[in-house]
Amino acid sequence: MARPIGIDLGTTNSLVAVSVDGQAEVIPDERGRKLLPSAVCYGPGDRVTVGYEALAAALDNPYDTILSVKRFMGRSTAEQERARGIAPYRFAEEEGPVVRFVAAGREVNPMQVSAEILRTLKARAEAALGHEVRDAVITVPAYFDDAQRQATKDAGRLADLNVLRLLNEPTAAALAYGLDARPEGTFAVYDLGGGTFDISILRLERGVFQVLATGGDSHLGGDDLDRGLAEHLIARLHPGRHVADLDPRALRRLLELAEEVKMRLSAAEATTVEVPALPGLAASGSFPLTRREFEDLARPIVERTAAPCRQALKDAGVAPGELAGVIPVGGSTRVPLVRATMARIFGSEPLTGIDPDLVVAVGAAIQANLLAGKGGDDLLLLDVIPLSLGIETMGGVVEKIIPRNSTIPTSATQVFTTYADNQTGMDIHVVQGERELATDCRSLARFTLKGIPPRPAGMCRVRVTFQVDADGLLTVSAREEETGQSQSVEVKPSYGLTDDEVETMLLASFEHAEEDVRERLLRQSRIEGERILHALDDALAKDGDRLLSADERAAITVAAGDLRAALRGEDHARMQELAKNLDEISAAFAERRMTESIRKILVDQKAADVKL
């Protein structure tokens, strides 16, 4: 049976891991390298290269090689300016809900760029495992907002992956540690990635990983240390010059040099820096640099991690002294100053044991395995929404409807009444963030509820439901509650890609589009159909006799037989239709089973209460 994979889709590097025989491991490439640089180079024609090769190409081809694409995920053209400083990319001119790069003469969006990275990792896993891979868990920074999460999921779909779950990176790390040694207690996960910083406080107790609070900064990462150091190097040799006005090729070389120097200074107290001649900066030179000098310029950046840590501890209601351990994640946590900062904030030395570069991918593979139903029934992850969800009210003030750190999945409903006579529409603006004013929060969706019947002011009530699923993704629906009748309106958020856009891009990525897509649909329908039949057989064997009448059971058996027969054929539309039919016929059975299992738990719990 096909194994699901875990993917750490990082700002700087990405990894893929798989769990084999209860042991989760990162899969290296054919040359034994575990990391895949998150670099995608668009060449002439349709040529796309990913990873080390693309990274090398970035030196000569800085405009057509996209690095740190993660910083652009879920960002609109209006927001790209903020990220522009980090790279020399060319952007498409028209405004739109997603950023579009212009690389080698074509337009690509961040989801498409990320999909190239995902495809490469998928191929790597398939080569190593010797079978096709479809199911994957992809990790995201805990602090990612809804738009960034949606973009990541879209990237997975573009790479033809079935995204089982978006897993928060710190939670993945805790899972990797937790499964290893089965520790108990409250832990902090300090995750300084290439471009994002996350802090999560989790309680580990009898197989349950419960996130108590999370926080972070989605614009702070190890890249900032490299950039700060690069700025210093250029100032030493060329006083008055800045990173910002360097030729892109020179900037690329300098950033690489800075990263190397940073790593050398993690191991040694001092090093000699040799800056080569760079495009636009003819003079080369060398000078000594001490760790202390590096730390002086890194300190203001590393210090920015302290406030989110303290806030997360406060939100979790945990004092530093109550922590059982601090889990470091991300290559930057090897920097002695970062380790010292962690120790200072939390009052204890960070744990060692799992490579901070690999730990997230390992956790993702463990979660993928759990979701595939392969053992680990005693494990459960309970995660939270990182940022409050709210709606804009009069005067631009935000009313919070789901507070941050609420366990997901979660929902909130809000009833709106009309404020003018014969008002037939209502504007709703959904935002995410902690600030009081809507303009200071992330705008997630703006939509107008239409079709409200004309009535005097205050007479119509519209119930709006905000649902956040286990991936941390939001859907909004609205129902107008006039006496006796209610209509349901599905509201799609205004950013990200529509299903049609995903399908079109997917089509474009196949060489023989139509055949491939037909094949793919057939395969997917078959897998889905088999899964439903398998689950149903299990359920019938367990509860069929107790919860179904003979007639009900017969109807289900007939519908299941129809589906089973269709799966042997070649008609994917019929497979889907019969799967849907079976789903409807067995709906009451599913409902009864769920109700029964809840009843059982509550009976057990009450029995336990009595004993106490």
Partner 1 sequence: MLSETKRGQGDAAAPGGRTDPGDHFAVLGIERSWHLDTARLAARHLALSRELHPDRFAQASPRERLLSLERTTALNDAYRTLRDPIRRAEYILRQAGIGHGDHDHELGHETGGVDHEFLEKIMHMRERMLELGIAGGRGGEHPEALAMRTAAAAAIDDLDRQIDAEFTAWERDPGGSGSRAALVQVDRCLAQRRYYVNILREIDGEDIPAGHGAL
Q: What is the DSSP string of 507-567?
A: HHHSTTHHHHHHHHHHHHHHHHHHHHHHHHHHHIIIIIHHH--HHHHHHHHHHHHHHHHHH
Backbone angles phi, psi at 493, to 5 degrees: -60, 155
CB 589 within 8 A of CB 547: yes
- Beta carbon of residue 178, minimum distance to partner 1 (angstroms, whole number): 15
Identified binder of partner 1 from the candidate list 77, 348, 411, 494, rule CB under 8 A: 411
The C-alpha atoms of residue 170 and residue 210 are separated, in whole angstroms, by 12
Q: Which of 293, 434, 503, 577 binds partner 1 (CB under 8 A)?
A: 434
Closest distance between partner 1 and the C-beta of residue 597, in Å? 5
Residue 310 makes contact with partner 1 by CB under 8 A: no
Is 349 annotated in the active site? Answer: no
Nearest approach, Cβ of 236 to partner 1 (angstroms)? 40
| Binders in 484-513 for partner 1, by CB under 8 A | 486, 488
Q: Shortest gap between Cβ of 420 and partner 1 (angstroms)?
A: 13
Query: In the bound complex, what is the minimum distance in angstroms from residue 430's beta carbon to partner 1?
Result: 13
Q: Do the Cβ atoms of 303 and 330 come closer than 8 Å?
A: no
How many residues bind partner 1, per CB under 8 A?
Answer: 65
Contact with partner 1 (CB under 8 A): which of 45, 239, 395, 484?
395
Residue 91 found at the interface with partner 1 (CB under 8 A): no
DSSP H helices in 317-446: 336-346, 359-371
352 binds partner 1 (CB under 8 A): no
- Residue 27 Cβ vs partner 1, minimum distance, rounded to whole Å: 22
580 is annotated as an active-site residue: no
Which residue among 64, 160, 191, 357 is the active-site one?
A: 191
Catalytic residue (choose from 29, 64, 70, 154) = 70
Q: Does 470 bind partner 1 (CB under 8 A)?
A: yes
* Whole-angstrom distance, CA of residue 231 vs CA of residue 460: 60
Part in contact with partner 1 (CB under 8 A); list of ranges 59-67, 115-123, 286-294, 526-534? 526-534
Q: Cα dist. 579→134, 516, 536, 589 in Å?
A: 20, 22, 11, 15
**Under rule CB under 8 A, residue 104 binds partner 1:** no
Cβ atoms of 370 and 192 closer than 8 Å: no
No. of helices (H) and no. of strands (E), the chain: 17, 26
Q: Is 408 in the site for partner 1 (CB under 8 A)?
A: yes
Question: Which backbone phi and psi does 397 adopt, to 5 degrees?
Answer: -85, 140
How many residues appear in the chain? 612
Is residue 70 flagged as an active site residue? yes
Q: Which range of residues in 30-38, 145-153, 217-225, 591-599 is near partner 1 by CB under 8 A? A: 591-599
Q: Which two tokens stand for residue 234?
A: 């250029």
- By CB under 8 A, tell whether 590 contacts partner 1: yes
- Write out the binding residues for partner 1, residues 148-177 only, by CB under 8 A: 164-165
CA 438 to chain centre: 24
The DSSP H or E segment spanning 167 is: strand 162-168
When asked if residue 185 is in the footprint of partner 1 (CB under 8 A), the reply is: no
Query: What's the rounded Cα separation, in Å, for the pair 116 and 111?
Result: 9
Q: Which of 77, 266, 410, 524 contacts partner 1 by CB under 8 A? A: 410
- Any catalytic annotation for residue 471? no
Of 219 and 429, the one with the shorter C-beta distance to partner 1 is 429
Binding status of residue 412 toward partner 1 by CB under 8 A:
yes
State the greatest distance between any 2 C-alpha atoms of the chain, in Å, as a whole number. 88
- CA angle 188–190–196, rounded 5-degree value: 140
Half-sphere exposure of 356 (CA within 13 A, CB side): 22
- Least spacing, CB of residue 298 vs partner 1, in Å: 28
Residue closer to partner 1, measured from CB, 84 or 531: 531
Among 7, 176, 391, 430, binds partner 1 (CB under 8 A): 391
Strand order across the beta sheet in which 474-482 lies: 410-417, 461-468, 474-482, 485-491
Q: What CA–CA distance (Å, rounded) separates 90 from 283?
A: 29
Q: Which residues are catalytic?
A: 8, 70, 169, 191
Contacting residues toward partner 1, per CB under 8 A: 164-165, 208, 210, 315, 370-373, 380-382, 391, 393-395, 397, 399, 403, 406-417, 419, 434, 461, 465, 467, 469-470, 477, 479, 486, 488, 531-532, 534-536, 583-584, 586-587, 590-591, 594-595, 597-599, 601-602, 604-606, 608-609
